[in-house]
Structures are given as C-alpha cells and as structure tokens.
C-alpha cells in the first residue's frame, strides 16, 4: 500500500463516520416524535357519563354499602337494609301513635302502614322528611333520622305488645327477603319505576336540591335505564369493520325527558380505512336513535344528573 | 376493557436515522449493510488515494518527458533521473537498458535491436498501464455488484416484513413500514457505494487511457530517436 492509498483510506473512513453521525443526529433527519409523557393505558368506562358526583359522594357512600352487602340493592339502602322496621320510623308519624297507643287497634294500623311505604318507595321517603324536619339538604339526614327513629320505635314496640311487633317484623322480613332475593337488574328497574312514579308528586317541592345525591349504584342504574330506552331505536349500519365504530353524542335533555336542541356529535372513534364510508351513516343513526327515544322516562329528581348526557353508540349498545 | 395504546416512542424510531435502521434490521440485512459500507469505504479510499496519485503521476510524467526532450545528453539525463518512480522513467529505463544490451556487441544487428527495443518499450508501457489500472478492477466490481447486493438485502427485508404481516394478521402501516424502511435502507447503501464507484471508474479509466496514450507517444518518440541513433552507430 502506498502512502496515497493510506491517506485515502483514512480520509474515506473519517468521512463515512462523519456522514453516518450526521445522518443519525437529528438535524439532518426529520424530527423525531418525542412524547413528553409516557403513553398510559386507558380503560374505557361505561358508556354514559353522568354528571360527576365525586365531591358529594363522600358522605353518601356509607349508607348504601351496608345495604348492598346484605343484599337489598340500593340507593335508599340504609333504611331497608338493617331491619325494615327502621324506615317506618323515618316518617315521623309513627312515634306519635306510639305514646298514645295503649289501645290495641291503634297499634296495629301503625305497624302495618309502616312496612308498606318502606319497600315501595324508599327513595322518596328519604327526601320527603328532609325538607320537613331538618330543612337541610338530604345528605346528612339519613343518619340522624335512623338513629332517632330507632330509639322511639323500639320502646314503642316492646311495651305495647309482642304480637303486633312480631307480625310487623315478619311482614317486613318477607318484604326484605323478597327484595333482597331479587336480581339486581330487576331491582334497578323496579327502583327506576318506583322512583319515577313516586317522584312526580314528591319531587316537586324539592326539585333542585334532591338531585345532588347520586351514588354509584344509582348512576349505573340510571345508565342502564338510558341504555334500555335507547336500545330499541339504535340500528347500527352494517358493513366491513363497522363494529369498531363508536359515535359519541352530547345531548341536552329537558325536564320532561325531551331533547333540547339538536344532539351534538362529539366524535366517532375507531375509524379505519374500511369503515370510513360508514361514519356518516353511523352518526346519523345515532342521532336518529336519540330522536326516536326522545321523551326519556327518567327519574325527575336526578334531573341534574341526566340533563347533559354523553351517549356512546357502538356495537355493544345493540347487543 | 383496556385499550392498548400504540407506543409512539417506539414508532419514533421509524425516522431515517441510519443507526436505528441498522439496529432494527435482520441479521442478514445487517451483514449486507456492513459489507456495503465497507465497500463504500474502500471505494472512497481508492477514489481519494488513487485520484491524487494518478493526477500526480500524470503531471510528473509530462514534466519528465518535457525535460527529457530538452536535454542533449540522454545518458546523463538517465543517470540523474532514470531511477525515478514514474511510468515514463521506467519506460525510458526499459528502452535504454535494451539499447545498451543490443549495442554491447561489436557487431550490431540493427534490425534485431530495433525489434527488441520496440518490444521492450511497448511491454514496459503495458506493464505500467496494468499497474495503474489495477485499482480500477475494484471500482468496477463495486459499481456493478453493490446495487445487486443492496437489492438482495431489500428483498430479504421485505420478505421478512411480509412474514411479520402474516404472523400478526395485521397489515397496518405500523407493522409493515419499519421492515420495509430498513430493507430499502440496504438498497440505499448499495447505491451509495455503487454510484461513486461507477463515476470514479469511468473517470479513472479515462485518465488512465490518457496516461497510456501519453506513454505510448513517449515510447514511440523515444523508439524513433533510438532507431535513428542505431543507424548512426
């Protein structure tokens, strides 16, 4: 090898290394995509996003949980859960009869009415006393109400006569067993019905205030109810890859359940090359489903929770 | 239901950075790339080194020949500069050596001496040209073969990405693109090595032709001079 060859080899090697480094560094090549934050796993929650209850939930959860543990599902839970006798006390009326009650006939009617209202409308029962007695928002109320009620109820029952008490409890138990035995789904719908039925008279006085308390169970029940009402009207377009489409629509509802204005299409997710042509149809069908389902039958006392709905239309909804 | 999010940071490697492309590649493609890179370095070493030395040789030969024709005493000039490391000097050396051998005897066979001198000069020129064009061989090889080697790497890489498509049952661009990018990078390196090699081959063979014709001219003229001298002696 001659000197010129050695020089040439040195220069060539150095130039290649330089070129390689230059191309590898970012100023020649297009800018890399740099993510400031690491990608995170996203879990998609259930379709309907109700108004967030996060701050208000904290006082509320304790009551529902004991109820749920035992079996009777829901919302009104605190009362029916423990011993069905308690809710009766809630309405203040029973105590007054208690003191008077030496006469038997008086006693008997007292327990009787009590069990009935309990299972029937646990929900309204709570709000009702609220404005009356403490005049405070209902959240706080259940606890004192229960304890208060417990105290008077027991003395009343024990002295008066074991018979009435036992009959009452037996009846209550039957009720309780029934409600607890039933499936969650039935329960929710039951509650939905009762709630919507009962609220019409009850909620009117306390319209605004009552909506506040919406536990997770209520939320899911409400969610399920909305889905149930939408489902028969939702017809997804057919075609390749259409299953992956998810159209998100924002809706504003009036108090009577009708749609205010036009549903607003937020976005359609899951668009691929093969289903791109179906996106418009998917969105139109979603809006159509809302319009057809229009007067939604939802509990009025939770109006603030379903006033603004974000609905997701996808394959799951039609199943 | 959890949705796997495509890791964009991994896709960011799909930029044109040669290092990332090289590191992602299959072992076969890596070998191809490394071989082509070596070929490219070799090519450029020849282009730079041989380019310099060739132009230097041409310049010096021209100067040497001019000075040779200007001198009056060929023998003295040969004593001074005959040992230089130049094609012209070596051709001159071959001619003078043959001349001296042929004219050593008392009786000179003129025809035979002319033949021998002519043959010696032309073989010297041929030897010099062979020596010069030795490197061209490498340039020609790289220029002809590198694109094919790169193409082989590309075909292999694309085969691999098709296998990846089949394995993942997914023909999305995110699956296909990186493999094809790294595969095409092999062809890019092949062309990167081949293009300068072909250009240099053409230029150098042209330059060597010129050197050869220059040497031939010098040898012919020198032969004419010696032939004339033979008649006089």
- pLDDT tens, residue by residue, A197-215: 444 444 444 444 444 567 7
User: What is the structure's pLDDT at A34?
Assistant: 61
Contact criterion met (CB < 8 Å) for A8 and B44? yes
A137 lies in a domain?
Answer: yes
pLDDT at A299 over 70: yes
Average pLDDT over residues A284-298: 85
Q: Are residues A203 and A114 in the same domain?
A: yes
pLDDT at B41 over 90: yes
Contact criterion met (CB < 8 Å) for A16 and B41? yes
pLDDT at A48 over 50: yes
Residue of B120, B121, B99 whose CA lies nearest to B110:
B99
Contact B40, B149 (CB under 8 A): no
3-state secondary structure of A116: coil
Q: Are residues A198 and A256 in the same domain?
A: no
3-state secondary structure of B17: coil
Q: How far apart are CA A296 and CA B185, in angstroms?
A: 61
Residue A27 carries which DSSP code? T
Average pLDDT over residues B194-215: 92
Contact criterion met (CB < 8 Å) for B18 and A20? yes
Q: Are residues A123 and A197 in the same domain?
A: yes
Q: Are residues A79 and A121 in the same domain?
A: yes
Shortest CA distance from B14: residue in chain A:
A32
When pLDDT is cut at 50, 70 and 90, the band that residue B11 belongs to is very low
A8 lies in a domain?
Answer: no
Average pLDDT over residues A160-182: 46
When pLDDT is cut at 50, 70 and 90, the band that residue A77 belongs to is very low
Q: How far apart are CA A263 and CA A189, in angstroms?
A: 26
Q: Are residues A90 and A203 in the same domain?
A: yes
On average, the pLDDT of chain A sits at 63
Bridge partners for B109 per DSSP: none
User: What is the structure's pLDDT at A49?
Assistant: 53
pLDDT at A78 over 80: no
Which domain-ending residue is among A187, A213, A239? A213
Return the percentage of chain B with pLDDT > 70, whole number.
93
Mutate to test the interface with A, among B4, B41, B45 (most CBs of A within 10 A): B45
Burial class from Cβ neighbours inside 10 Å (0-12, 13-18, 19+) for residue A162 reads exposed
pLDDT at A134 over 80: no
Q: Are residues A190 and A260 in the same domain?
A: no
Residue A259 carries which DSSP code? E
Q: How far apart are CA B164 and CA B177, in angstroms?
A: 11
Q: Which chain A residues are Cβ-neighbours of B41 within 8 angstroms? A: 9, 12-13, 16
A26 lies in a domain?
Answer: no
A4 lies in a domain?
Answer: no
Classify residue A257 as left (phi > 0), alpha (psi -120 to 50) or beta: left
pLDDT at B218 over 80: yes
Q: Are residues A157 and A225 in the same domain?
A: no
User: What is the structure's pLDDT at B220?
Assistant: 92
Q: Are residues A119 and A136 in the same domain?
A: yes
Shortest CA distance from A47: residue in chain B:
B1
Contact criterion met (CB < 8 Å) for A16 and B20? no
Q: How far apart are CA B149 and CA B170, in angstroms?
A: 30
A6 lies in a domain?
Answer: no
Residue A179: how many other CB atoms lie within 10 Å? 22
User: What is the structure's pLDDT at B145?
Assistant: 94
Which domain-ending residue is among A162, A180, A213? A213
Contact criterion met (CB < 8 Å) for B3 and A41? yes
Q: Are residues A235 and A294 in the same domain?
A: yes
User: What is the structure's pLDDT at A300?
Assistant: 81
Domain enclosing residue A207, as ranges: 74-213
When pLDDT is cut at 50, 70 and 90, the band that residue A275 belongs to is confident
A53 lies in a domain?
Answer: no
Contact criterion met (CB < 8 Å) for B45 and A43? no
Return the percentage of chain A with pLDDT > 70, whole number.
41
Residues belonging to chain B with any Cβ–Cβ distance to chain A shorter than 8 Å: 1-9, 11-12, 15-20, 37, 40-53, 56
Domains held by chain A: number: 2
Which domain-ending residue is among A213, A238, A259? A213
A48 lies in a domain?
Answer: no
- pLDDT tens, residue by residue, A174-191: 444 444 444 444 444 444
Please state, in angstroms and as integers, the Cα–Cα distance from residue B50 to each residue in A17, B131, B205, B214, B217, following that order.
Answer: 21, 12, 12, 18, 23
Kindly report the nearest CA distance between residue B66 and chain A, in angstroms.
25
Shortest CA distance from A19: residue in chain B:
B18
Average pLDDT over residues A11-21: 90
Q: Are residues A95 and A206 in the same domain?
A: yes
- pLDDT tens, residue by residue, B106-137: 787 888 888 999 999 999 999 999 988 888 88
User: What is the structure's pLDDT at B37?
Assistant: 92
On average, the pLDDT of chain B sits at 85
Considering only CB atoms, B7 lies closest to which of A5, A26, A39, namely A39
Residue partners of A148: CB distance under 8 A and separation at least 6: A89
Contact A126, A90 (CB under 8 A): yes
A23 lies in a domain?
Answer: no
């Amino acid at each position: 090898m001659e000197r010129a060859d050695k020089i040439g080899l040195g220069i060539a090697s150095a130039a290649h290394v330089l070129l390689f480094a230059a191309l590898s560094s970012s100023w020649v090549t297009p800018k890399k995509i740099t993510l400031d934050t690491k990608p995170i796993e996203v879990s998609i929650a259930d379709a309907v996003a109700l108004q967030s209850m996060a701050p208000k939930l904290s006082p509320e959860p304790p009551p529902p949980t004991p109820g749920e543990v035992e079996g009777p599902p829901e919302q009104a839970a605190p009362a029916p859960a423990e011993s069905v006798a308690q809710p009766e006390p809630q309405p203040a009326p029973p105590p007054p009869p208690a003191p008077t009650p030496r006469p038997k006939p008086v006693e008997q009617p007292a327990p009787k009415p009590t069990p009935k209202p309990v299972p029937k409308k646990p929900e309204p029962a709570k709000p009702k006393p609220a404005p009356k007695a403490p005049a405070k928002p209902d959240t706080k109320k259940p606890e004192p109400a229960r304890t208060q009620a417990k105290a008077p109820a027991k003395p009343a029952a024990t002295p008066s006569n074991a018979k009435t008490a036992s009959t009452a409890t037996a009846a209550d138990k039957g009720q309780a067993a029934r409600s607890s035995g039933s499936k969650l789904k039935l329960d929710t719908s039951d509650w939905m019905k009762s709630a919507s039925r009962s609220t019409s008279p009850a909620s009117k006085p306390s319209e605004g205030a009552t909506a506040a308390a919406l536990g997770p169970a209520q939320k899911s029940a409400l969610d399920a109810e909305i889905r149930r009402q939408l489902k028969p009207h939702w017809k997804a377009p057919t075609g390749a890859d259409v299953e992956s489409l998810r159209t998100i629509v924002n809706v504003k509802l009036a108090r009577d359940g009708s749609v205010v204005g036009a549903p607003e299409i937020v976005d359609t997710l899951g668009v691929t090359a093969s289903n791109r042509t179906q996106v418009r149809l998917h969105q139109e069908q979603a809006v159509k489903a809302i319009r057809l389902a229009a007067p939604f039958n939802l509990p009025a006392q939770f109006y603030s929770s379903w006033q603004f709905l974000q609905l997701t239309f996808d394959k799951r909804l039609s199943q | 239901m959890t949705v796997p999010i495509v890791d964009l940071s991994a896709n960011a490697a799909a930029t044109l950075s040669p290092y990332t492309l090289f590191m992602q590649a299959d072992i076969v493609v890596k070998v191809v790339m490394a071989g082509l890179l070596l070929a490219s370095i070799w090519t450029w070493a020849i282009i730079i080194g041989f380019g310099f030395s060739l132009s230097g040789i041409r310049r010096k030969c021209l100067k040497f020949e001019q000075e040779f024709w200007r001198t009056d005493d060929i023998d003295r000039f040969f004593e001074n500069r005959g040992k230089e490391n130049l094609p012209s000097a070596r051709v001159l050396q071959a001619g003078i050596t043959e001349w001296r051998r042929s004219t050593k005897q008392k009786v000179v066979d003129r025809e035979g001496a002319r033949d021998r001198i002519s043959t010696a000069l032309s073989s010297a020129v041929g030897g010099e040209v062979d020596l010069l064009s030795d490197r061209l061989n490498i340039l020609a090889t790289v220029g002809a073969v590198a694109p094919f080697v790169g193409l082989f790497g590309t075909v292999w890489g694309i085969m691999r990405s098709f296998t990846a498509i089949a394995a993942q049952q997914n023909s999305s661009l995110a699956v296909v693109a990186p493999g094809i990018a790294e595969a095409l990078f092999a062809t890019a390196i092949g062309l990167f090595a081949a293009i300068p090699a072909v250009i240099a081959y053409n230029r150098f063979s042209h330059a060597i032709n010129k050197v050869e014709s220059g040497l031939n001219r010098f040898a012919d003229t020198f032969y004419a001079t010696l032939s004339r001298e033979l008649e006089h002696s």
